[in-house]
Amino acid sequence: MDNKFTAFIERNRRQIILTILALLVLAVYWQTTGHEFINFDDNIYVYENPAVAGGLTRENVIWAFTQFHSANWHPLTWMSHQLDVSMFGLRAGSHHATNVFLHLVNSILAFFVFAKLTGSEWKSAILAALFAVHPAHVESVAWVAERKDVLSTMFWLLSMWAYIAFAQRRMASKGSALFYIGSILLFALGLMAKPMLVTLPFVFLLLDFWSLERLKKLGDLPRLILEKLPFFVLAGISSYITILAQRSGGAVMSLERLPLYERSANAAVAYVQYLIMLVYPVDLSVWYPYAKNISPVEIAGALIVLLGITAFCVWQMNRRKYLLMGWLWFVGTLVPVIGIVQVGVQSHADRYTYVPYFGLFIMIVWGVSELFSDRVKIPSMIAAAAIAIFAVLSFNQTALWKNNETLYRHSIAVTDGNYLLMQNLCFDLTLKERLDEAEIQCRNAIDANPEYAESYNSLGIIQIKRRQYPDAEQNFRKAITARPDFGMYRVNLAIALTNLGKPAEAEESMKAAAATVSYRENQEIWISAIKGLATAYAAENNLSKAEENLNRALNISPRDLEIRKSLAAVLLAQNKLETAEREIKTVLSLDPNLAEAHNLYGVILMNQQRSKEAISEFEKALQIEPNSITAQENLKALKDGTKK
Q: Can you spell out the DSSP letters for 23-89?
A: HHHHHHHGGGGGPPP-SSSHIIIIIT-HHHHT-S-HHHHHHHHH--BTTB--HHHHHHHHHHHHHHT
User: How many structural domains compose the chain?
Assistant: 3
In the predicted structure, residue 1 carries a pLDDT above the cut 60:
no
Reported as a single tens digit per residue, the pLDDT across 156-172 is 999 999 999 999 999 99
In the predicted structure, residue 481 carries a pLDDT above the cut 60:
yes
**Contact 348/273 with Cβ under 8 angstroms?**
yes
Band of pLDDT at residue 551, cut at 50, 70 and 90: confident
If asked whether residues 532 and 594 sit together in one domain, one would say no
If asked whether residues 341 and 269 sit together in one domain, one would say yes
Reported as a single tens digit per residue, the pLDDT across 48-75 is 898 999 999 999 999 999 998 888 899 9
If asked whether residues 147 and 110 sit together in one domain, one would say yes
Which residue, among 520, 511, 550, 558, has the nearest Cα to 532 in the 3D structure? 550
Chain mean pLDDT for the chain: 91
Please tell me the least confidently modeled range out of 80-94, 256-270, 392-406.
256-270
In the predicted structure, residue 255 carries a pLDDT above the cut 70:
no
Band of pLDDT at residue 351, cut at 50, 70 and 90: very high
**E strands present in 125-248:** none
If asked whether residues 180 and 61 sit together in one domain, one would say yes
Which residue, among 157, 145, 162, has the nearest Cα to 105 in the 3D structure? 157
Any domain includes 32: yes
Top-confidence residue, 525 or 244: 244
If asked whether residues 509 and 574 sit together in one domain, one would say no
Any domain includes 431: no
Averaged pLDDT for residues 365-375: 89
If asked whether residues 625 and 552 sit together in one domain, one would say no
If asked whether residues 628 and 531 sit together in one domain, one would say no
- Residue environment code for 448-477, b if the CB has 16+ CB neighbours within 10 A, otherwise e: bbeebbbbbbbbbbbbbeeeebeebbbbbb
Averaged pLDDT for residues 164-190: 95
- Residue environment code for 528-539, b if the CB has 16+ CB neighbours within 10 A, otherwise e: bbbbbbbbbbbe
**Contact 189/231 with Cβ under 8 angstroms?**
no
In the predicted structure, residue 269 carries a pLDDT above the cut 90:
yes
Number of neighbours of residue 30 by Cβ within 10 angstroms: 13
Band of pLDDT at residue 644, cut at 50, 70 and 90: very low
Q: How many residues in total does the chain contain?
A: 644
Q: In angstroms, how far is CA 94 from the centroid of its own chain?
A: 16
Reported as a single tens digit per residue, the pLDDT across 128-143 is 999 999 999 999 999 9
In the predicted structure, residue 300 carries a pLDDT above the cut 70:
yes
Decide: helix, strand or coil at residue 43.
Answer: helix
Top-confidence residue, 494 or 118: 118
Any domain includes 420: no
- What pLDDT does residue 291 have? 79
If asked whether residues 148 and 215 sit together in one domain, one would say yes
**Contact 183/163 with Cβ under 8 angstroms?**
yes
558, 574, 593 — which closes off a domain? 558
**Contact 192/76 with Cβ under 8 angstroms?**
yes
If asked whether residues 100 and 137 sit together in one domain, one would say yes
If asked whether residues 153 and 169 sit together in one domain, one would say yes
Spatial separation of the C-alpha atoms in residues 393 and 280, rounded to whole Å = 10
Band of pLDDT at residue 636, cut at 50, 70 and 90: confident
Q: Could you give the angle at the alpha carbon of 95 between the alpha carbons of 74 and 199, nearest 5°? A: 35
**Contact 461/430 with Cβ under 8 angstroms?**
yes
522, 539, 558 — which closes off a domain? 558
In the predicted structure, residue 3 carries a pLDDT above the cut 80:
no
Spatial separation of the C-alpha atoms in residues 458 and 482, rounded to whole Å = 14
Any domain includes 470: no
Q: What is the CATH number of the domain that holds 609?
A: 1.25.40.10
Decide: helix, strand or coil at residue 467.
Answer: coil
- What pLDDT does residue 250 have? 64
**Contact 193/152 with Cβ under 8 angstroms?**
yes
Averaged pLDDT for residues 562-580: 90
Domain span at residue 383 reads: 2-404
In the predicted structure, residue 605 carries a pLDDT above the cut 50:
yes
Decide: helix, strand or coil at residue 586.
Answer: helix
Q: What is the pTM of this model?
A: 0.86
Please tell me the least confidently modeled range out of 128-132, 391-395, 500-504, 525-529.
525-529
Reported as a single tens digit per residue, the pLDDT across 315-332 is 999 999 999 999 999 999
- What pLDDT does residue 249 have? 65
Averaged pLDDT for residues 298-321: 96
Any domain includes 450: no
Any domain includes 468: no
- What pLDDT does residue 643 have? 44
- Name the CA radius of gyration of the chain, rounded: 31
Spatial separation of the C-alpha atoms in residues 574 and 557, rounded to whole Å = 23
Q: Could you give the angle at the alpha carbon of 331 between the alpha carbons of 326 and 335, nearest 5°? A: 145
**Contact 495/532 with Cβ under 8 angstroms?**
yes
Any domain includes 440: no
388, 404, 420 — which closes off a domain? 404
Top-confidence residue, 244 or 156: 156
Q: Which percentage of the chain shows pLDDT scores above 70?
A: 96
Any domain includes 580: yes
If asked whether residues 274 and 345 sit together in one domain, one would say yes
- What pLDDT does residue 536 have? 82
**Contact 133/388 with Cβ under 8 angstroms?**
no
**Contact 462/487 with Cβ under 8 angstroms?**
no
In the predicted structure, residue 391 carries a pLDDT above the cut 80:
yes
**Contact 91/204 with Cβ under 8 angstroms?**
no
- What pLDDT does residue 343 have? 67
Q: What's the burial of 151, exposed, middle or buried (CB within 10 Å: 0-12/13-18/19+)? A: buried
In the predicted structure, residue 602 carries a pLDDT above the cut 70:
yes
Top-confidence residue, 35 or 489: 35
The amino acid at residue 462 is: I
If asked whether residues 136 and 157 sit together in one domain, one would say yes
In the predicted structure, residue 108 carries a pLDDT above the cut 80:
yes
